[in-house]
Amino acid sequence: MARILVKALEKPLGRYETLVVGLPGIGLVGATAAGLLLDRAAQPLRLVYGFYLPGSLRLTHAEADGLSRPRGIWMHSLREGGLLVLTGSDQPHTPSLQFELASTVLRRASPLGCERVLTLGGYQVSSVGASRRVYFAANDMQTYRYALRVGLSTFDGQVVGAAGVFAGLGRATGLRGGCILGETDGEVPDAAAAKAVVEALDRLLASVEGAR
C-alpha cells in the first residue's frame, strides 16, 4: 500500500521542463534556496500537488483554533523558466520513504513536460569564507559539461538523503540533471549558501537554454 497521499490542487498552465527539488537538509540550504526561487516569482504561483507523508499531522500551536493541519511537501509551478519547484517543511527520514517520494513526484512531473531534475542542498565543510563554492554531481554527461562551463566544482563523496535519491532515480527514469550543493558550515538557515546555490542554478539553466 502506498504510504504517500497525493492531492492534486491547481492545474498547471504550459510546459515545465525542469523540476527543482529543495528540501530541508544540511544548513537548510536546499529548502531556503527553493524559498528564494518562489519569493522572486513575477507571476502568481500555482500550487500543483501536495504530498503527505506518514506522521505529517501535527498540532499547530501558532494558531488559536486548536486544529491540527497536515505538514506536507508541495510542488509549485513557475511559468518563468518553466520550473516546477518541490519544497516543504521536512523530508522523509528513511531511504525507502525517500525512494517512494521521489518515484511518486517524478511520475507526476513527467506528464507536465519535465525533462530534467535538479536537487539543491548543502555541502558540509568545517569553515566557510566570504564567498561560497558551489559543487555539483551530474547524472548525465550533458549536464556535467554545462556545470563545468558555468564554474561549478566537482567533489568526491556521497550525496545523502532525498537530494541524492531524486537525482539517482531521475537518471533511472530518463531525466537529466543532478545535484547542486552550496558550501556550508551547517549554520541554520545558511542564507549565503542558499543564495550561491540559486545563482549557480540560474547560470546552469541559462547555459542549457543558450545551447539550444
pTM score of the predicted model: 0.92
> Lowest-pLDDT range, 45-59, 68-82, 161-175?
45-59
Per DSSP, the three-state class of 36 is helix
Cell digits of residue 146: 554545462
Maximum Cα interatomic distance, the chain, rounded to a whole number of Å = 53
Q: What is the mean pLDDT of residues 178-196?
A: 95
Stretch (H or E) spanning 97: helix 95-109
DSSP 196-212: HHHHHHHHHHHHHHHT-
Cell digits of residue 78: 513557475
Stretch (H or E) spanning 180: strand 176-184
Tens of pLDDT, residue by residue over 101-156, are 999 999 999 999 999 999 999 999 999 988 999 999 999 999 999 999 999 999 99
Q: With contact defined as beta carbons under 8 Å apart, do 15 and 58 qualify?
A: no
Q: Architecture of domain 5-210 in CATH?
A: 3-Layer(aba) Sandwich (3.40)
Helix axes 191-210, 141-149, angle to 10 degrees: 110
Beta carbons within 8 Å of 172's beta carbon, 6+ residues apart: none
pLDDT at 61 over 50: no
Separation between Cα atoms, residue 106 and residue 108, nearest integer Å: 5
Question: 49-58, 63-72, 78-87, 192-201 — which one is most confidently predicted on average?
Answer: 192-201
- Residues β-bridged to residue 135: 153, 181
Tens of pLDDT, residue by residue over 1-60, are 568 889 999 988 889 999 999 999 999 999 999 999 999 887 778 899 999 887 665 544
What pLDDT sits at residue 168? 93
What pLDDT sits at residue 67? 66
The domain limits of the chain are 5-210
